[in-house]
Chains A and B, each alone.
Chain A
């Protein structure tokens, strides 16, 4: 398909000092403007895949594999151009804050791209408004909460206008409020600006936001599909130890109690409607 923004073909990666490859012959495509959730238990190679997409690490067998980002085949010469299109928000909000203040941190990525100061100024204002952090502009990182730091990290990435955003467990260290704030900001931008989002996560609610779920196990893609397809696959859920969203847990509990809840019931609205209908029949 022509609207695949990321094409990964036969990628393997082995970390130095280990024998067991972290990724084995991965091939996958990601459609422009889609939200992809990358799940799998710890050590399944999710973060490694994110680093490969951003060109931070180079795969093993470069001769018979390829990574194409937005039509450009990644090579050591153009990795910096590719990074202009990819923004990564990492797990620990403290360890990715470069600047001494919020505005300095957002400016960092722009400074690296040689953007003149006036332009940096207007961009900072725009992106801080997007993440609703404008009044924190002059604040130092230690005065912010984890969720606020993560929103600044997002702003820093919006500032360079990437086409792809990778959330590498970006919400795992946040409280529920910080998590839902961060995710709703990204979701808005995905819808309004056609951003491609890859979220690496253990959080099932974050998985529910996705158009496509890719399950990694032991460095290999074991399943691809829409969230309901993944969560309905009992064997897969058990083997990869992914948790289930509340709706699925409730449905399974109802089934155990002897109610025949159909498989298509996979959202809160559908379940509520189903239960109400059931109630009126009784």
Chain B
């Protein structure tokens, strides 16, 4: 159960931790787009260096990043190998029917491999250094313009904050229910697919009921503390733009310019 970690965050105090989550989220998205600007060896080298630079600023062990890549390793290898054997062009090194290993194939598969790893790394940097609450606050800020088309952003951000606050509570609840069922003889780790699926029922049903009870209790507690839907509220938690965010932005602008200069037309 402890392996399922939503938005795994590792506390630290390097410069990247002091950055505004809004900046981090936006730049992570832009970074993923900018990765597609790279189209030759030099640009890929530059991108890799910049990505490793971002990774280095977190000051975390490489093992943590490996854990991030590990679940996707088969997808990465599968895609790279497909690229390798189905791309034609350039010098042919090996051929068998429609399968061939060519100069372009090797090049493309390495590009794809790097692209994958970089996208994973850069999003891992974001989740490792930003708490889920900060991400929720930042998303609420980014989505804020949607209120002009009548999207209830206030409520949505409250929902996000409450959902995140209850993730650990419901996790604990799940573990407790599982242990209680184990104590009565339910075996969660054996049997065929259908039996295992059936074993989930004694977890899910009480979990649903508990969630509804919590929701009911919480709504009463919120109301008794003066929460009114649609009434104006102040916000205690605030995001502050700091000098580190200009560093973040600068880093990104330099990268984009360098990529634009060195990419082949």
Residues in chain A within 8 A of chain B (CB atoms):
51, 54, 56, 80, 83-84, 86-88, 90, 92, 94-101, 103-104, 107-117, 120-121, 140-142, 156-157, 160
Q: In the complex, what residues of B have CB within 8 A of residue A107's CB?
A: 236-237
Check B214–A109 contact: CB distance below 8 A.
Answer: no
9 tightest CB-CB pairs across the interface, nearest first?
A107-B236, A96-B221, A95-B217, A112-B226, A142-B168, A109-B225, A100-B165, A88-B224, A111-B233
Q: For residue A148, give the distance in angstroms from its CB to the closest CB of chain B.
A: 15
Q: Does B42 count as interface, using CB distance less than 8 angstroms?
A: no
Question: CB within 8 A of B228: which of A80, A103, A104?
Answer: A80
Check B133–A100 contact: CB distance below 8 A.
Answer: yes
Q: In the complex, what residues of B have CB within 8 A of residue A114's CB?
A: 232-234
Query: Contacts A90-B217, A94-B214, A142-B169: A108 and B225 contacting too (C-beta < 8 A)?
Result: yes
A sample of 23 inter-chain contacts (CB < 8 A) reads A56-B220, A80-B228, A83-B224, A83-B226, A86-B224, A87-B224, A90-B221, A90-B224, A94-B214, A95-B218, A96-B218, A98-B225, A99-B165, A100-B165, A101-B133, A109-B226, A114-B234, A117-B234, A117-B238, A120-B236, A141-B165, A142-B168, A160-B226
Q: Could you count the A-B residue pairs with CB atoms below 8 Å apart for me: how many are there?
A: 92
B172 and chain A: residue at smallest CB distance = A142
Q: In the complex, what residues of A have CB within 8 A of residue B133's CB?
A: 100-101
Q: Does B164 count as interface, using CB distance less than 8 angstroms?
A: yes
Check B236–A98 contact: CB distance below 8 A.
Answer: no
Q: In the complex, what residues of A have CB within 8 A of residue B232's CB?
A: 114
CA of A111 to CA of B231, assembled, Å: 10
Check A112–B217 contact: CB distance below 8 A.
Answer: no
Q: Which residues, 64 to 99 on B, are CB-close (under 8 Å) to A?
A: none
Check A100–B217 contact: CB distance below 8 A.
Answer: no
Q: Does B162 count as interface, using CB distance less than 8 angstroms?
A: yes
CA of A160 to CA of B225, assembled, Å: 9
Q: In the complex, what residues of B have CB within 8 A of residue A160's CB?
A: 225-226
A50 and chain B: residue at smallest CB distance = B224
Q: In the complex, what residues of A have CB within 8 A of residue B236's CB?
A: 103-104, 107, 110-111, 117, 120-121
Q: Does B239 count as interface, using CB distance less than 8 angstroms?
A: no
CA of A120 to CA of B231, assembled, Å: 18
Q: For residue A186, give the distance in angstroms from its CB to the closest CB of chain B.
A: 17
CA of A120 to CA of B233, assembled, Å: 12
B227 and chain A: residue at smallest CB distance = A112
CA of A157 to CA of B232, assembled, Å: 20
Q: In the complex, what residues of A have CB within 8 A of residue B187's CB?
A: none
B216 and chain A: residue at smallest CB distance = A95
Question: CB within 8 A of B231: which of A54, A86, A88, A112?
Answer: A112
Q: Does B247 count as interface, using CB distance less than 8 angstroms?
A: no
CA of A120 to CA of B218, assembled, Å: 22
Q: In the complex, what residues of A have CB within 8 A of residue B213's CB?
A: 95
A115 and chain B: residue at smallest CB distance = B234
A54 and chain B: residue at smallest CB distance = B224
Check B226–A56 contact: CB distance below 8 A.
Answer: no
Q: In the complex, what residues of B have CB within 8 A of residue A141's CB?
A: 165, 168-169
| From B218, B222, B225, B233, residue with most partner A Cβ within 10 Å | B225
Q: In the complex, what residues of B have CB within 8 A of residue A120's CB?
A: 234, 236
Query: Contacts A111-B235, A112-B231: A97 and B225 contacting too (C-beta < 8 A)?
Result: no
CA of A172 to CA of B235, assembled, Å: 33
CA of A120 to CA of B236, assembled, Å: 7
CA of A107 to CA of B218, assembled, Å: 16
Check B162–A98 contact: CB distance below 8 A.
Answer: yes
CA of A195 to CA of B119, assembled, Å: 58
Question: CB within 8 A of B222: which of A54, A98, A104, A142?
Answer: A98
Q: For residue A189, give the distance in angstroms from its CB to the closest CB of chain B.
A: 18
Q: For residue B230, give the distance in angstroms from its CB to the closest CB of chain A.
A: 12
Q: In the complex, what residues of B have CB within 8 A of residue A115's CB?
A: 234
CA of A156 to CA of B225, assembled, Å: 8
Question: CB within 8 A of A96: which of B162, B217, B234, B238?
Answer: B217
| From A80, A111, A157, residue with most partner B Cβ within 10 Å | A111
Q: For residue A142, give the distance in angstroms from its CB to the closest CB of chain B.
A: 4
Question: CB within 8 A of A100: which of B161, B220, B233?
Answer: B161
CA of A86 to CA of B235, assembled, Å: 23
Question: CB within 8 A of A112: which of B164, B165, B218, B228?
Answer: B228
Check B218–A100 contact: CB distance below 8 A.
Answer: no
Q: In the complex, what residues of B have CB within 8 A of residue A100's CB?
A: 133, 161, 164-165
Q: In the complex, what residues of A have CB within 8 A of residue B227's CB?
A: 108, 112
Q: In the complex, what residues of B have CB within 8 A of residue A156's CB?
A: 225
CA of A140 to CA of B9, assembled, Å: 14
Q: Mark B4-29, 1 if CB is under 8 A from A, else 0.
A: 00000000000000000000000000
Q: Which residues, 203 to 260 on B, are CB-close (under 8 Å) to A?
A: 213-214, 217-218, 220-228, 231-238
CA of A28 to CA of B162, assembled, Å: 38
Check A56–B223 contact: CB distance below 8 A.
Answer: yes
Query: Contacts A80-B228, A98-B165, A112-B228: A117 and B217 contacting too (C-beta < 8 A)?
Result: no
